[in-house]
Amino acid sequence: MDVTEHDVIANPAGIRIVSLESAQAPRALEDVDYAAIQGNFAIASDHKLSDALALEQMTSPYVNQVVVKAANRNSRAITDIVTAYQSQEFRSAILGNRFYDGFRMPDYFNR
C-alpha cells in the first residue's frame, strides 16, 4: 500500500503537499521549501544524510532487510549477501566513509 498526500489527516500550516516518484525528490529540492527523501536516493544524489533537517528513526526490522522468495532463502547468493551485510567489513566501510554520516547501523552490530 502506498501513502499519498490524501492520507494526511491534518495540515494546520496549510503546506501544499506534492507527491513525486522517490527518485525525483532530490532533484526537486531547489523548487520546494521541504522534501522527504529516502536515504538511498539522497545518498545517490550526493546529499549527506547528516545535512538533513531530520532523519527518520527507523527501528528493526526495517533496516537493511534482505528479502527473497522462500524457495531461495538458503541459496548461496543470498547467504553471501546476508554474510556481507553482517560483516565487519561492511560496518567499517559505512563508519569509515563520511558520505554515510547519519546512516542508521543495523541492530545486529549493537549486540
**Over residues 94-106, mean pLDDT:** 82
Q: Which segments of 1-111 does DSSP mark as H helices, in order? A: 39-44, 76-85, 88-95
Q: Measured in whole angstroms, how far is the alpha carbon of residue 3 from the centre of its chain? A: 16
**What confidence tier does 107 reach under pLDDT thresholds 50, 70, 90?**
confident
CA nearest to 64, candidates 85, 43, 50, 83:
85
- Residue 60: the pLDDT is 66
Taking only the tens place, the pLDDT of each residue in 61-93 is 666 677 889 999 999 999 999 899 889 998 999
pTM over 0.75: no
Helix (H, G, I), strand (E, B) or coil at 4: coil
Cβ atoms < 10 Å from Cβ of 106: 19
Q: Answer for the pair 42, 29: CB distance below 8 angstroms, yes or no.
A: no
Q: Is the pLDDT of residue 100 over 90?
A: no
